[in-house]
Amino acid sequence: MCWKNSGFSLDNEVRINGADHKTRVALAQYIARAPISLEKLSYLPSQATVRYTSEFNPAIGDTIKTWDARDFIAAATLFIPPMAFG
């Protein structure tokens, strides 16, 4: 209940025609897009912080987000699924 909606959603009612090459390419490019831009990411070793600079982001209310380096690594790797054994 306290999750702040980022605007991302899934809708399984949307269908793409298999013959629609342009839309399939656009979807593939979107899926392959990196979640963050490395050009906007910087490490500040003197402070042991990571800074991400972008245009105004209403989710964080600013243009810069700064993390402690360890907190950034924890947040960036949170969504990596566990390795399957078997």
Q: Can you give the pTM of this predicted structure?
A: 0.55
Residue 78 has pLDDT above 80, yes or no: yes
Q: What's residue 20's pLDDT?
A: 93
Q: What is the pLDDT of residues 42-51, one digit of tens each?
A: 999 999 999 9
Rounded-to-integer distance, Cα 63 and Cα 69, Å: 19
Rounded-to-integer distance, Cα 74 and Cα 76, Å: 6
Q: What's residue 1's pLDDT?
A: 61
Contact 50, 43 (CB under 8 A): yes
47 or 32, which is more confident?
47
β-partners of residue 67 are 50
Residue with tokens 């924890």, as numbered in its chain: 74
Helix (H) or strand (E) holding 67: strand 62-68
Q: What is the pLDDT of residues 51-65, one digit of tens each?
A: 999 888 787 788 988
C-alpha angle 78-79-84 in degrees, rounded to nearest 5: 110
